[in-house]
Amino acid sequence: MAKLLIVDDEIGIRELLSEILRDEGHDVILAGNAAAARAARNASRPDMVLLDIWMPDTDGITLLREWAAAGQLTMPVVMMSGHGTIDTAVEATRIGAIDYLEKPISLQKLLAAVKRGLQHPPPVIAPVPLTLAVFPDSAPLRDLYRRLRQASGQSRLILLQVGTDHLAELAARSLQITGAPWLDLGDATLDPTRLAEHQGGQLYLPGLERLPRAQQKNLALIIERLERHDLNMLVASGASRENLLAAGWEASLVERLFAQTLIPPAFADIRDDIPELARHILRHLVDTKEVPRRCFSSPALIQLQQRDWRGGYGELYATIRGLALAATEEEITLSEIGLPPAAIETPSCTVPLDQPLREAREMFERIYFEHHLRLTNGNITRLAQKTGLERTHLYRKLKQLGLHNGRKQEES
């Protein structure tokens, strides 16, 4: 028979429904909250889900929306609630639920809903790109998503100022409308005459500073035609406005590019979130059938977290895909990863104590700022955020310590 997942925070309801459905011959999995439901869905791949709406951690509508956004609504879902409204039922159906049961649930209605659900063919889900929307528990990623949504409501063109370890592609995917065209201009020729083929889509241009001079005019034409073709565009740049102007870029194009600018967190700022990011990437690869069914062991995730991902999201994504394809068992273990230890060096903070306080303090401050300059790749904006110093004070401090060269990378 079928494998059914029951998600409800009331143990009595879980046990009652479980007993009824097991008597009908079904294999039943229980979850008491949204976190357990996520884990059960990913581990067991149920044929159907009975999902309560009102739960203490994350409500059922939010979880349903999360599954839909991540392309994980590959099974029929029936919503349950004792305090539902017509609006709630309509919203659940709009997102992807196939039925709605009001509590207390009668035996006949339960069995009829399960029968309909199992006869309901699984929806054909087109591959959905991974987006920032599936990381609600990460404060930096949640904040970036909020700022992106806000910026996209003000401009069709957004520029991210990034280092090498950036999240730009993940950010651009988060702005793509479901089902809309996607065009990576880093892999394609900048041809303004073919924009109509991508009507309503999302354009992504990484490595702006590497764009040849001959292509800069085409970039200006593409920006001018975004409104005409209902296109949005995200550009990632490792160079500042001043860097581009010094390199000979047209001032009008540079000003247009930098009109709506955001600075996303670097991988060094989201190190605690890397295990969750890795799990979502692997889950996405499995759901889109790019790799066989795989999962990470806890030690493997810790090792991934310790790694210095200087290539950012792209490097992490490619590494996880390679690991999943090379693994011989379902669980990817620490021994299979074979990655070197973290490349971020933690400096020794040993300061001689037999010297005047002023000299000892200056020595410590030099070690401290050298360390954080390395972590932020010399990005003064992120350095100011990390150290909690106002930028003018920070410049003065770096100059006093003989580290004023960091000023050259103010906006990089």
Query: Are residues 383 and 406 in contact, defined by beta-carbon separation less than 8 angstroms?
Result: yes
Q: CA 311 to CA 319: how far, in whole Å?
A: 11
pLDDT, one tens digit per residue, over 169-217 is 999 999 998 778 999 998 777 899 989 999 999 999 999 999 988 899 9
The DSSP letter of residue 64 is H
Average pLDDT over residues 88-102: 87
Q: Which of 231, 180, 172, 255 is closest to 207 using CA atoms?
A: 172
Hey, what amino acid is at 217?
A: K
Does residue 407 surpass a pLDDT of 60?
no
Average pLDDT over residues 372-392: 71
pLDDT, one tens digit per residue, over 282-292 is 988 887 788 99
Average pLDDT over residues 303-325: 89
Its pTM surpasses 0.85 = no
The residue count for the chain:
412
Label residue 168 left, alpha or beta by phi (over 0 means left) and psi (-120 to 50 means alpha). Answer: alpha
Q: Which of 81, 78, 91, 73 is closest to 117 using CA atoms?
A: 78
Cα 309 from chain centroid? Answer: 15
| Paired residues of 27 in beta bridges | 3
Query: Are residues 297 and 333 in contact, defined by beta-carbon separation less than 8 angstroms?
Result: yes
Does residue 410 surpass a pLDDT of 50?
no
Highest average pLDDT, of 84-93, 306-315, 324-333, comes from 324-333
Domains in the chain, please, with CATH?
3-119 (3.40.50.2300), 132-262 (3.40.50.300), 267-337 (1.10.8.60), 357-409 (1.10.10.60)
Query: Are residues 377 and 266 in contact, defined by beta-carbon separation less than 8 angstroms?
Result: yes
Average pLDDT over residues 31-36: 91
Q: Which two tokens stand for residue 130?
A: 């991974």
pLDDT of 224 reads: 96
Q: Cα torsion at 310, 314, 316, 321 (round to 10°)?
A: -150
Q: In 130-273, where does DSSP find H-type helix?
A: 139-152, 168-175, 213-224, 241-246, 251-257
Hey, what amino acid is at 4?
A: L
Q: Which two tokens stand for residue 401?
A: 């310590």
57: Cα within 13 Å, side-chain hemisphere: 14
Q: CA 323 to CA 281: how far, in whole Å?
A: 12
pLDDT of 350 reads: 61
Does residue 344 surpass a pLDDT of 50?
no
